[in-house]
Amino acid sequence: MLKDWLTSERIQIRTDITDWREAVEVSAEPLLKEGTITPDYLTAIFAQREKLGPYFVLAPGIAMPHARPEEGANGLGLSLLTLPPGVKFNSEDNDPVYTVVMLSAPDKHSHIELISELAELFSSDEDMQKIHQAKTIHEIQEVISRY
C-alpha cells in the first residue's frame, strides 16, 4: 500500500537542504501542489514545533511532520524527502534526520492502516538505511514496494 501513496511525484532526494524548517517545507511541496494540504497545515506544524519542540522526529534519522486534520488537511496523503547529508532538527536523541515523511490525514481514523505500514518500514533498520542512502527515486520505490 505504501507504494500507492509514495509515487515518484511525492518522493524527493535533496542534498542542498541544511535547515530543518526548509526540510519540512520542501517535504510538504508535493501535498501542497496537489491540494492535499493547505498552507495552514504547515503553519500549524511550525506552531506545534514552537510549543513542543521537535515532536515529529520519531526515531534516529526519521521525522514525520503532521498536524491535526482540522488544521489544513484536505485529504489523506504522504510525501517523502531524503536528505543524504542529514539535517539537524534539534532532537537530541535522533539527529541528524535523513528521511522526512509528511503525513496528512483528514480525520482521526483514515490514516491508521497507513501509519501501521509506515511503522513497519521505520522499524526495519536495513530498509531505512537503504532509503537514507538511495541515489534515485526508483531505489526508494523498490524499498517501499515491500510494504
Q: Which H or E run includes 144?
A: helix 137-144
Query: In this predicted model, what pLDDT tens digit does every residue of 89-124 receive, in sequence order?
Result: 999 999 999 999 999 999 888 778 888 999 999 999
Residues acting as catalytic residues: 66
Give the contacts of 4 (CB within 8 A, at least 6 positions apart). Answer: none
- Respond yes or no on whether the N-terminal peptide bond of residue 30 is cis (omega within 30° of 0): no
Give pLDDT, residue 111.
79
**What is the value of pTM for the model shown?**
0.94
pLDDT at 5 over 90: yes
Ordered domains of the chain (ranges, CATH): 2-145 (3.40.930.10)
